[in-house]
């Protein structure tokens, strides 16, 4: 957990997937990122204590439905950064 806190302090963003963010100490990670100028994206079905915080984007959806979209976005970002092309399914 100590390593996670160190990484959170230096993170530009955090992606929280499928968590209500209720269990401490891990539930504090988004706040650490926000306190250090980062942004947070939450994909979770149901509310969290961070949903209305500045710097947070919340997608209220079942994780199983959202993950293909998250994967495609991550692959697209990687492609832009590395100059690779991305087709359907990351191919």
Q: What is the pLDDT of residues 49-80, one digit of tens each?
A: 999 999 999 999 988 888 888 888 888 888 88
Evaluate if residue 91 carries a pLDDT over 60: no
- Which strand (E) or helix (H) includes residue 40? strand 39-43
| Contact call for residues 16 and 42 (beta carbons, < 8 A) | yes
Give the separation between CA 47 and CA 71, rounded to whole angstroms. 23
pTM of the model: 0.75
**pLDDT score of 85:** 62
List, for residues 74-88, the tens digit of each pLDDT value. 888 888 888 766 555
| Contact call for residues 60 and 46 (beta carbons, < 8 A) | yes
Evaluate if residue 90 carries a pLDDT over 50: no
Q: Per DSSP, what are the bridge partners of residue 39?
A: 13
Q: DSSP label at 6? A: H
List, for residues 5-43, the tens digit of each pLDDT value. 999 999 998 999 888 888 888 899 999 999 999 999 999
């Amino acid at each position: 957990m100590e390593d996670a806190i160190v990484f959170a302090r230096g993170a530009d963003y955090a992606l929280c997937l499928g968590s209500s963010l209720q269990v401490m100490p891990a539930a504090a990670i988004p706040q650490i990122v926000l306190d250090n100028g980062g942004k947070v994206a939450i994909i979770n079905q149901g509310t969290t204590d961070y949903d209305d915080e500045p710097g947070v984007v919340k997608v209220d959806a079942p994780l199983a439905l959202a993950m293909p979209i998250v994967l495609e976005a991550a692959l697209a970002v990687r492609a832009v950064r590395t100059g690779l092309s991305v087709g359907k399914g990351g191919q």
